Amino acid sequence: MQKHTHPRYRWSAPYLIVLVLIVLQTFSVGIIMLSQHGMGEEILLTHARAMMSRLADGAIYTTRHHLQSAENTARVTRGLIRSEILQPSDIDSFEMYLLQTLRYNAAFSGLSYGDRQGNFLYVSRQHSIGVKNEYLTKVIHFREGQRKEEVLHRDSELALQTRKTINDDFDPRTRPWYAAFRQNKLLWTPPYIFYTSREPGITVSMPVVDARDRVQGAFGVDIEIHSLSEFLARKKISEHSFSFIVTRQGELAAHSEMALVKKYGPMGHPQLVNIGDLADNPVLRIVWARIRALPEQELNKGATMDFSVAGVHYLAMVRSFPGNSQWPWLMSVVAPEDDFVAIFRQAKRRTLLWALFYSICISLVIFFLIARFFRPMRRLLHYAHFDPLTELYNRRAFFERSAKIIAASRARHNPLCVAMIDVDDFKKVNDTYGHGAGDELLTAIAGRLRGALSERDLIARYGGEEFVLLLVDTDPEQGLVVCERLRRAVADTPIHTRAGMLRVTISIGLASMDSTMVDVAQAINWADQALLKAKEAGKNRVVLAGYSEN
């Protein structure tokens, strides 16, 4: 018979937990009652300003991070060109790099490169009815003193649709972003009209240097004003708040109320908007007047202002993007005071609901603390079975799971095959491009292998650049077909890494697991010998154990 501990010991811990919860909840309710009793209108305003200041700081920080991604792209491209991994003279390769960069950065509208000779490469995202993304490339290059201009249209998968020769007087050296070449430094342009899309926007550009640090040209990342305005609209800090980014001369780079930055000329083309053009907006007019009166030092550290318009009291925060800075903008966040004060006033009238809210919060905190305590244990359990780089099973988990699969297959008399896979010349990749690129390569290869297998098959990272497969219900002939499919999945398409597009191959050794084999280790040994034969035969192939090269 099972023995139970005495109730006095069995229930002491739960009693203590309940007692602590009651004390904490009582303490929370008492704090609420005291705060409601002593909180006056001035305290409400203080809390409102502090809250808005924190939220506005967060919005400004998020916007800086959003713009910083464009700078980072420019820096990475400059580095790749300087290290000669990218060569602008190889137009096809350089174009594909720019297209892939644009494809995976929705905030960018275009990427430009121009050099001192007038050579030019530009890629941009184009939207059309029924198609989410199409891409346009414009190329200007000189051969034997002859200028050639082409425009290429590509679909959403970057497949070439049309290519045609054009003739216009465009010169990249006259565009605002090319000033980075002349000034030999990173810079952000004031808002201007993009030449190709005719949309207003801003550009971050950097001088491009060769391996000897000689300045050759400039590279720019375009962000359209409407795109940046949409970003601000998604980051509103309250229901009636708005925010805007403006140069010190009043040129609007973005506004969360996008209708305010949409201005069109007589021919229907978008035009730049100056904040002075919005004088009929009294809130914006007062904010801009206050901003212009602030000294530079106060703008750099951030200033909070309050004012009233038509009986509504507003709070505004303004800050320059870092005052060190090549970023020539100010960002302001404006909100009615009631958006924040109302929260505290409502709290005074609904004490009971707040008490309930705090009780629930305390219970949730305890729950999350417990969950946080067990999270490291779950992580340890996970990585006891999975490789942390590729998220495939590790060797230990492979042997554990394969034993069960083999037992079930033998009970049903179903065939099994084991394959060993090795990435060809992987050490050369690490030595040439670094271990970071090598890790990206292994992760991508693991994904392709996993995607080309059925759900019943078992794949694991065996060690280093080796992978092991257990193919279920698969005879040798079927196994060769599967392995050939895996080989092509890796070899046929280059892999995108931080070092650029890399093309790699794999070699595969395959072994059939018959009923005479004691365990999977023997089949792995046979497959490993077949893998060695594949390597000796020239790599990038599949070899079946006991058979000649396939």
pLDDT tens sequence across 357-384? 666 666 656 656 655 665 565 666 677 7
Tokens of 388: 């942390």
Tokens representing 252 are 């609007």
Q: Let me know: does 195 contact 175? Beta carbons within 8 Å.
A: yes
When computed from its CA atoms, the radius of gyration of the chain, rounded to whole angstroms, is 32
Tokens of 518: 């004691």
Q: Could you give the CA distance from residue 2 to residue 208 in angstroms, rounded to a whole number?
A: 78
Give the residue among 234, 210, 271 at the shortest CA–CA distance from 66: 234
For residue 411, what pLDDT is reported? 86
Q: CATH no. for residue 248?
A: 3.30.450.20
Q: In terms of domains, do 514 and 401 share one?
A: yes
Q: End of a domain among 208, 226, 244?
A: 226
Q: Take residue 470 and report the two structure tokens written for it.
A: 């257990």
Cross-strand pairs, 244: 255, 332
- Look up residue 375 and give its two tokens: 């999270």
Torsion of CA 275, 281, 286, 292, to 10 degrees: 0
- SS3 assignment, position 232: helix
Q: Where is the domain boundary, 226, 242, 269?
A: 226
Residues 161 and 22 reside in one and the same domain: no
The answer as to whether 550 is a domain residue is no
Tell me the CB-side half-sphere exposure of residue 506, using CA atoms within 13 A: 31
Q: Domain range for residue 179?
A: 75-226
Residues 422 and 456 in one domain: yes
**Residues 201 and 92 reside in one and the same domain:** yes
What would the two tokens of residue 264 be?
């069109």
Distance between CA 100 and CA 156 in Å, rounded?
11
DSSP state, residue 238? S
pLDDT for the residue numbered 323:
46
Question: 3-state DSSP call for residue 110?
Answer: strand
Q: Is residue 499 part of a domain?
A: yes
Record the tokens describing residue 459, joined without a space. Answer: 């794949």
State the CB neighbour count (10 A cutoff) for residue 476: 19
Residue 390 lies in a domain: no
Bridge partners, 14 (sequence order): none
Specify the DSSP class assigned to residue 386.
B
The pLDDT, as a whole number, for residue 370 is 56
Would you give the end-to-end CA distance of the chain in angstroms?
A: 66
Residue carrying structure tokens 């069109």: 264
Q: Which residue has the tokens 């890629």?
A: 123
pLDDT in the model for residue 489? 93
- 467/522 Cα distance (integer angstroms): 16
Question: Looking up tokens 């940046």, which residue turns up?
Answer: 228
Cα separation values, 293 from 57, 72, 114, 274, Å:
21, 34, 40, 18
Residues comprising the chain, all counted: 550
Same domain, 79 and 222: yes
**Residues 218 and 241 grouped into a single domain:** no
What 3-state DSSP class applies to 111?
strand
Instruction: Extract the tokens encoding 2.
Output: 């099972």
Does residue 384 sit within a domain?
no
Asked if the structure places residue 54 within a domain, the reply is yes
Residues 487 and 519 in one domain: yes
CATH number of the domain enclosing 450: 3.30.70.270
Q: Is residue 369 part of a domain?
A: yes
Q: In this structure, are residues 265 and 277 in contact, taking their beta carbons and an 8 Å threshold?
A: no
Are 144 and 180 contained in the same domain? yes
**Domain final position from 183, 202, 226:** 226
385 within domain boundaries: no
Cα 91 to its chain centre, rounded Å, is 27
Low-confidence ranges of the chain (pLDDT < 50): 1-15, 38, 129-130, 323-325, 548-550
Residue 101 sits in the same domain as residue 217: yes
Same domain membership, residue 290 and residue 407 = no
Indicate if 324 and 214 belong to the same structural domain: no
Q: What is the mean pLDDT of the chain?
A: 82
Residues 190 and 251: beta-carbon distance below 8 Å: yes
Measured CA distances, 407 to 402, 403, 470, 516 (Å): 8, 6, 13, 13
Please tell me what DSSP assigns to residue 11.
T
Within 8 A by CB and 6+ apart from 318, the residues are 287, 290, 291, 294, 299, 302, 303, 305, 330, 331, 332, 333
Question: Given this model, what pLDDT does residue 56 score?
Answer: 72
Domain tally, the chain: 4
What residue ranges in 323-378 does DSSP mark as E strands?
Answer: 329-336
52 and 119 housed in the same domain: no
Residue 241 confidence (pLDDT)? 86
d(CA 254, CA 244): 5
Classify residue 383: in a domain, yes or no: no
Q: Report pTM.
A: 0.51
